[in-house]
Amino acid sequence: MPELPEVELTRRRLEPDLVGKRIERVEARIPKLRLPIPGELATVLPGRTIRSVGRRGKYLLFDCEAGWLIVHLGMTGFLRFLAEPAQPGKHDHLDICLGAGSVLRFHDPRRFGTVAWTTDAPAGHPLLAGIGPEPFTAAFDGDYLFKVSRSRRVAVKQLIMNGATVAGVGNIYANEALFRAAIRPDRPASSLTPRECERLALAVREVLEESIDQGSTYRVAEETVAYHPLAFTVYGRGKERCTRCNGALEGIRLGNRSTVYCPRCQR
């Protein structure tokens, strides 16, 4: 599913085309995705201008004057700005129709995405209120990670994938960050030392920043949204050779997620 780098790149891609655009109408072709699509969008959004495109964790936030449109891409969701839109396809479930005939179109084959609306500050919305600190801020550092891990018996990989611990770290980047920090993904979180927490917090920031800088692993082609690995060191490389020690990488399941690590380099 799209993780923080993919969502941030979506935000950056859409922002120049959307900010300042006036919304003409809303066309919802299905009543719900993961959650019901708010019916009031058809009445509250027309006539409003999109003032900014923000992000909180894996959620996109569209400031539409009267409130905020909150969008989560789910497993297969993708947002396109179309200056000259074609007829909507089977999985094009929502159009935000803008001036000059342009459209912001939400495409989601599996319908696991979310579209919500709030007139209050979005940080207090139930979808966002429990999200932990953004990984690029000073609030997320080794000291913070050490404090939140003290009483946690869950595997360290599950800890950093928990959105209440840190915003936006999914399976791909958790694998990569733990390899870079030389920490076994199945270790109890409470076993981490202060120095290991410093390494891990730094590694999380670095792998996310590098993915954004490279253009992420997220691509869309025709009707399909998929990951296309760029230069992963462990993710998706089970049974291949470690890029550090040339030993065999191992694959396990943690929290029902595929996990790959190097038993020699990660302790």
| pLDDT tens-place string over residues 146-201 | 999 999 999 999 999 999 999 999 999 999 999 999 999 999 999 999 999 999 99
Active site residues: 2-3, 58, 257
Q: How many CA atoms lie within 13 A of 159 on its CB side?
A: 29
Mean pLDDT on 21-48: 97
| pLDDT tens-place string over residues 57-88 | 999 999 999 999 999 999 889 999 999 999 99
Sequence-ordered strand ranges (E) for 102-161? 103-107, 114-118
Residue 5 CA to residue 1 CA, distance in Å, equals 11
User: For the chain, how far is it from start to end, CA to CA, in angstroms?
Assistant: 28
pLDDT band for position 229 (cuts 50, 70, 90): very low
pLDDT at 204: 97
pLDDT at 39: 95
pLDDT > 50? residue 115: yes
Residue 262 CA to residue 37 CA, distance in Å, equals 44
Mean pLDDT on 38-42: 96
pLDDT > 90? residue 220: no
pLDDT at 255: 87
pLDDT at 3: 85
Tokens of 124: 């207090």
pLDDT band for position 1 (cuts 50, 70, 90): low
Mean pLDDT on 110-133: 97
Alpha-carbon dihedral 143, 9, 77, 92, rounded to 10 degrees? 160
pLDDT at 230: 54
pLDDT at 247: 96
pLDDT > 60? residue 219: no
Mean pLDDT on 11-31: 96
